[in-house]
Chains A and B, each alone.
Chain A
Amino acid sequence: MVMNLDKCIGCHTCSVTCKQTWTNRSGMEYVWFNNVETRPGLGYPRRYEDQDTWRGGWVLNRRGQLKLRQGSRWWKLASIFANPVLPVLKDYYEPWTYDYAHLTNAPLGDDYPVAAPRSLVTGKPMEVKWSSNWDDDLGGGPELAPLDPNVERVRDEVGERITFAFEQTFMFYLPRICEHCLNPACVAACPSGAIYKRTEDGIVLVDQDGCRGWRQCVTGCPYKKVYFNHRTGKAEKCTFCYPRVEVGLPTVCSETCVGRLRYLGVMLYDADRVTAAASVTDDKDLYQAQLDVFLDPDDPEVQRAAERDGIAHEWLEAARRSPVRDLISRYRVALPLHPEYRTLPMVWYIPPLSPVVEAVSESGRDGEDAGNLFGAIDALRIPVEYLAQLFTAGDPVPVRAALDRLAAMRSHMRDLNLGRQPDGSAAGAVGMTGDEIEEMFRLLAVAKYEDRYVIPTAAQADARRLEESAVPETCSLDHQDEQGAAEGGPFGAGSGRRSLPLVTVESFHALRRRQTADREEEVPGP
């Protein structure tokens, strides 16, 4: 999945529809498979990106091999009786409801009755102190936003102070779901082996019958996207709406996204190269390493290998038309979220560019002229360094390049809209052609439903097999001229040994009339 952050309006429709579909049950009140965070902000659960505290994801050990930041296998088994670093409800929030009955039951009095909050966990009256989106839209910004681990790192590493004064601050939204990582730390952390990655589509699922409630996966996932159902005692996580995806429908969050900013498509990758890619020494190389794991479905070698391994033609075709692949590998505008966790996440983001045009225009220059735009990116309100902390482990170069391409697209498309022939300089400056820019524009701005979601159905491959077993090898038309012979069969048309063709409604009625007719004239002609 790729999300285009420029277009997210922070409406939380995705979170709410997801919740209605999957987690509106008791035990799951605090669970948001999809959540939308305001950045800079603490995220959900609070400060989940601070891996010194939460110990999620992978690190390299002294010999350069991957190991869970949580600790070795032995350590994990030894500490299994109480997970030492499990986020508790307080780190998410204590779910509550309101005492609505009081509104109607309250005795007559001078004041209006109010519905006081009641905890859904203890059932007692409570004071609401935090929720999944307490710092939405920079609420409490000056106090809370500086605690954002990314802000802290920008300050510590780049020495730049991000100010949260009203006129100078910035914000954007970051919708998050489970990343369905290529090297999932949650899977590796599960002692029971109940979490698994599906070989067909890469969806990471929790086997509810296999989970024994050890809670190690909650710690293992650096994105904190496995949740513990405190009623059933089992871990649950985003399922990528697999029942929908299997039949070719987009996930609920994608389908209902108001900004139409989510893209779904197939990425082919080489599973044997995953571990090597996740173990490159420098955090900053992880982005490139993951790009190298992806396979090019246009490469004849890859096609041959896919055929050999029994990957259905539909899937290969979908991989070629994949909007996700276009955004990640061809246009290189999408970036992974926190690659430094070494899980090789698979939900990528197009960094936001929005306020830049405004900023340049204010300075009296042409805000959409390519030259001015490129120059202005360094002075963006959303600091490139901050985006780099999120998307490239702190390396500003790829972020800069992605933003440049988006800026070039604006400039190029403005020329087109104004009826001027773009001279291709904007496109050339970012290493793209005018045609490519227009294609990218179509994908990002026009964003047709069928361009955004290219999902091969799991059933297709199965369906083909089934069809083959039910339908005769030859097309039913092939029998047309034998029809006369068939009628001469021992018990009327269609009888005998020949396998039955698919019976359409017309031929059913024709057959019935022929078989019940008294005189030859009544039989309909061929």
Chain B
Amino acid sequence: MSTLLWGALPYVVFALLVSGLVWRYRYDRFGWTTRSSEIYESRLLNIASPMFHYGILFVLVGHLMGLFVPASWTDALGLSEHGYHLLSLFGGTVAGLLAVAGIGMLVYRRRTNSAVFRATTRNDKLMYVVLVGAIVAGLVTKLMHSTLSHGYDYRTTIAPWARSLFRLHPEVSLMDGVPVSYRVHAVIGMVLFALIPFTRLVHMFSAPVQYLFRPYIVYRSRGSRELPGAPPPRGWEGVGS
């Protein structure tokens, strides 16, 4: 069981993520969008959405720091274990609360605004359940296993395990002593990763940083796509009438 969860599942998730992205890019570029509902309601969204997104971005940074920066590096910087713990506790909690408050408002908005609710697909609902589950589980776990003076030190167990995944040599045994709630959070998180390519979450992979570097006006040529004999562009195929 533990081999399955901590040895195989991560790779399955990774394969799903990558192949799903490739598949989506090749076959559903048209569906690759944020599917914004701002046009129905913008006042609440204007507060909640930035709150959630910034919160979750900080959470992401925190996870990267916790999982992929070994304790020896922060030690070298002169940051004691206790200092790190406080940083992670307060930073993580603030970011987590921001994200939770944001998504709470977003879910509330989605449920009460009938236009937005009508535009919610089953796929969205599933995604929301997993997303909220992952965030709440994470926050609860963090708070459950931390006091001001001391906290569960995942940097000796979970973090090395996560890094061992990338060395293609998962050290499954590291996860043995980990509290249940951490494990639950990790599994939900992995499910969420697997869902990304197949839900609207996919928009995270089109963060438009290139915008900062391109000229304002984009020119494109019509090209020779309409030369006779060339296959019709997508969406222009004959309908046989």
Shortest distance from the beta carbon of A236 to any chain B beta carbon, whole Å? 12
| 6 A-B pairs closest in CB distance | A191-B208, A213-B33, A188-B216, A233-B35, A209-B29, A233-B33
Taking A66-B216, A77-B211, A81-B50 as known contacts, 15 extra A-B pairs with beta carbons closer than 8 A to each other, sorted by chain A number, are A82-B48, A119-B115, A183-B217, A187-B217, A191-B208, A196-B219, A196-B220, A198-B219, A200-B222, A208-B30, A208-B235, A212-B203, A215-B38, A215-B39, A228-B39
Which of A86, A215, A230, A458 counts the most B-chain CB atoms under 10 A from its CB?
A: A230
Number of interface residues of A (CB under 8 A): 54
Q: Are A88 and B221 in contact (CB under 8 A)?
A: no
| Cα-based distance from A184 to B220 in the complex (angstroms) | 14
Q: Are B218 and A187 in contact (CB under 8 A)?
A: yes
Q: Are B212 and A73 in contact (CB under 8 A)?
A: yes
Which stretch in B1-9, B184-192, B224-232 binds the other chain?
B224-232
Q: Which residues of A contact B42 (CB under 8 A)?
A: 82-83, 86, 88
Q: Which residue of B lies closest to A234 (CB)?
A: B33
Describe B's contact surface by its main secondary structure: loop
Q: Which residues of B contact A291 (CB under 8 A)?
A: none
Q: What are 13 A-B interface contacts by the 8 Å CB criterion?
A: A80-B208, A81-B53, A87-B39, A121-B118, A184-B217, A187-B218, A196-B220, A197-B220, A200-B222, A209-B32, A214-B34, A228-B39, A459-B226
CB of B173 within 8 Å of the partner chain: no
Contact residues on B (Cβ < 8 Å of other chain), bracket: 35 or more
Shortest distance from the beta carbon of A396 to any chain B beta carbon, whole Å? 32
Q: Contacts A74-B212, A197-B218 given: A228-B30 contact, CB under 8 Å?
A: no
| Cα-based distance from A214 to B209 in the complex (angstroms) | 13
CB of B18 within 8 Å of the partner chain: no
| Cα-based distance from A197 to B220 in the complex (angstroms) | 6
| Cα-based distance from A230 to B37 in the complex (angstroms) | 7
Q: Mark A75-94, 1 if CB is under 8 A from B, else 0.
A: 01101111110111100000
Q: Which residues of A contact B32 (CB under 8 A)?
A: 209, 212
| Cα-based distance from A231 to B40 in the complex (angstroms) | 11
| Cα-based distance from A4 to B86 in the complex (angstroms) | 71
CB of B119 within 8 Å of the partner chain: yes
Q: Which residues of A contact B222 (CB under 8 A)?
A: 198-201, 246, 458
| Cα-based distance from A210 to B214 in the complex (angstroms) | 15
The residues of A with any CB-CB pair to B shorter than 8 Å are: 66, 73-74, 76-77, 79-84, 86-89, 119, 121-124, 183-184, 187-188, 190-193, 195-201, 208-215, 228, 230-234, 246, 458-459, 462, 466
Q: Contacts A197-B218, A198-B222 given: A234-B30 contact, CB under 8 Å?
A: yes
Q: Which residues of B contact A119 (CB under 8 A)?
A: 115
Shortest distance from the beta carbon of B111 to any chain A beta carbon, whole Å? 13
CB of B131 within 8 Å of the partner chain: no
Shortest distance from the beta carbon of B216 to any chain A beta carbon, whole Å? 4
Q: Which residues of A contact B114 (CB under 8 A)?
A: 122-124
Our pick among A79, A121, A187 for the contact of B216 (Cβ within 8 Å) is A187
Q: Are B38 and A83 in contact (CB under 8 A)?
A: yes
Q: Are B219 and A86 in contact (CB under 8 A)?
A: no
CB of B41 within 8 Å of the partner chain: yes
CB of B46 within 8 Å of the partner chain: yes
Q: Which residues of B contact A184 (CB under 8 A)?
A: 217
Q: Which residues of A contact B219 (CB under 8 A)?
A: 196-199
| Cα-based distance from A109 to B209 in the complex (angstroms) | 64
Q: Contacts A82-B45, A232-B30 given: A193-B210 contact, CB under 8 Å?
A: yes
